[in-house]
Structure 1
Amino acid sequence: MQLGAIFIDQLVFNVELPKPNDEVIPGVPWGAVEAFPTPAYWAYQVYARRLNGERINYKLGATLKEEVGACLLGGHGIPSTVGLAAYYHVKARGAFGDEPPSEDQLLAWLREPMAIDGRLVRYRFAKQKARYLAAALHKLAGEEAPIQSGRALRDWLLDVPGIGYKTASWVARNWLDADDVAILDIHILRAGLLGKFFDSHLTVERHYLQLEEQFIRFSKGLGVRASELDALIWLEMMSSPATVHSIMGMGPAPAASGRRPKKTKADANQLSLIG
């Protein structure tokens, strides 16, 4: 057994975890609780956040239409601040009302400059995202989305052009607080390779469902929710590029913050805009 101490004001809570050489799931040792990024480290961080009351509210939208819009307008290649600004911009124009706007109307709105941190910014991929968002909103207006499970909603969204497994899982996790899907981006993939809970020969592009199943099995082995674990791993891996690159032997990280993340409450908007 190994202990991890959690300090809350004047109180100290000890978390008991299995020995470092014990296995979370077959072939995956717990590792030392103090060693980033071992399975024991992730379990401890989840428990610490729970005790500190740092429950993350994933939802950005008040409706499923809005949630789909927020996720579609964020993601790979788009800074979270820009994705959020674009979402709020088209929302203010009425994009998520009863009548879905046309692709041309969405394109016109997305081409309008947006004020972010005192400067005007133009949204990248406006034409492409207008097409995707128009298709998604028309589907949502004409069909009833299945919400009995995260996986059912995720699979239903896959019919929309521009929505793949990651974006669809992102929507499902956010909207339903689902634990039967996983948002697998480069940060989660790297954590899985370092922690040995992903098979090294699998790729997100070709083996998304296999990797997702491995992630969910790993979270169950830790005794934590997949949605909590996904968000936590993303935040810490994203916030520690220098450490991650060094561990993986990748050389210096791109110029950015190389500091370890502070143990403060996570920004719910950032966590909701995983891409």
Structure 2
Amino acid sequence: MIKPFYYQLNEVVEKRLIPDPKDNFMNGLTWGEAHEFFTPCYWLTQYWMNGFDRMSESKYKSNATLTEELTFCLLGGFGVTAELATAAFERCKEVGLIDNYETDPRCWEDYLSHPLKLEGKSRRYRYPRQKSKYLSSAMKVLKSCNWNHLKGKQLRDRLLTLKGVGPKTASWIVRNLEDSDEVAILDIHLIRAGIITGIFKPEHNVDKHYTEMESIFIEFCRKLGAQPSRLDCLIWDQMREIGPLGLRLFERAMHKPKNRAELISLSVEEKQLQLV
């Protein structure tokens, strides 16, 4: 039975309709309740409550060039916070490495090896030598080729030919440049949220099943009536915000109870988590 859902947005009380919690959503997964962590209904209502369905474009859409976006995304990724990647990017931009398509890895490494100022503190960038090799190699390609006509998956496929660029990084670049809904950024936050929600299986491996998992996420968004480029931003923000709680939810989703006592214990923990 469809029921009303009320929320406030920009000081206006909105009324929307949500499905019955027991209704099938996809592949045997039910809609669930709006107040239950990471159910399909939870993500739908969070999408509405954050105004994502009324945005003209994602807040993460970049006005940067392809070269700038590629540099930023290569500087980010595993083991590097968004803040540290931004500081490293700003230094590389300031000294002209990006605008000049610097192809000497030693120049990149020299600037990336020096400490960066972050929130008034001195921080070192991780992996300066490795990233310098990737960046200088990418600049050689971009300096000699024009990829401006490529869009969506075509651009991602071409980016995958660059050293150090995997499916996640390539999708990240395309999403940021185009606000594209053809690709999905399957980072650790989205993968964990997908497992908690139930759209991904614990045995899914992003290195082996990227295309399959991407298709599942895009279909999940389609059934919600949400744009992938916006929903992945919402998921990313929420997973970062809740921190340890998200990890506990993920660990529980990955854990299979061995007996009835353990199952009861996990059920009690779930109720406690909903009150946090």
TM-score bracket relative to the smaller structure:
0.7 to 0.9
The SS at the match of 2:47 is: helix
Partner residue of 1:168? 170
Partner residue of 1:38? 39
Partner residue of 1:242? 244
Partner residue of 1:107? 109
- Aligned-residue offset at 1:44: 1.1
Q: Is the 8 A contact 2:53 2:226 kept in 1?
A: no
Structure number, greater radius of gyration: 2
Change (3 A) 1:116 1:241: closer
1:129-208 aligned at under 5 Å gives the runs 129-145=131-147, 147-208=149-210
Overall identity of the aligned pairs, in %: 34
Partner Cα separation in structure 2 for residue 146 and residue 30 of structure 1: 41
Mark the runs of 5 or more structure 1 residues left unpaired by the alignment: 252-258, 261-275
- Aligned-residue offset at 1:185: 1.5
Deviation per CA, 1:81-140, whole angstroms, max 9, x where unpaired?
Answer: 111100000000101214434111111111122211112222110000000111112211
- Aligned-residue offset at 1:147: 4.8
Partner residue of 2:59? 57
The TM-score, its normalising length taken from structure 1, stands at: 0.85
Higher relative contact order (CA 8 A, sep 6+): 1
- Aligned-residue offset at 1:198: 1.6
Partner Cα separation in structure 2 for residue 201 and residue 229 of structure 1: 23
The TM-score, its normalising length taken from structure 2, stands at: 0.84
Change (3 A) 1:243 1:119: closer
Between 84-93 and 14-23, report the one with greater CA deviation.
14-23
- Aligned-residue offset at 1:226: 0.6
Q: Is the 8 A contact 1:59 1:67 kept in 2?
A: no
Q: Is the 8 A contact 1:21 1:29 kept in 2?
A: yes
- Aligned-residue offset at 1:4: 2.6
When the two chains are superposed, the root-mean-square deviation of aligned CA atoms in Å is 2.3
Partner Cα separation in structure 1 for residue 52 and residue 153 of structure 2: 29
The SS at the match of 1:75 is: coil
Partner residue of 2:120? 118
- Aligned-residue offset at 1:51: 6.7
One-letter identity of the residue aligned with 1:73: L
One-letter identity of the residue aligned with 2:25: V
Q: Number of residues paired by the alignment?
A: 253
Quick check: which one's helix share is greater? 2
Q: Is the 8 A contact 1:146 1:152 kept in 2?
A: no
Partner Cα separation in structure 1 for residue 228 and residue 53 of structure 2: 19
Q: Is the 8 A contact 2:58 2:179 kept in 1?
A: no
1:216-227 aligned at under 5 Å gives the runs 216-227=218-229
Mark the runs of 5 or more structure 2 residues left unpaired by the alignment: 254-272
Q: Is the 8 A contact 1:169 1:181 kept in 2?
A: yes
Change (3 A) 1:29 1:147: farther
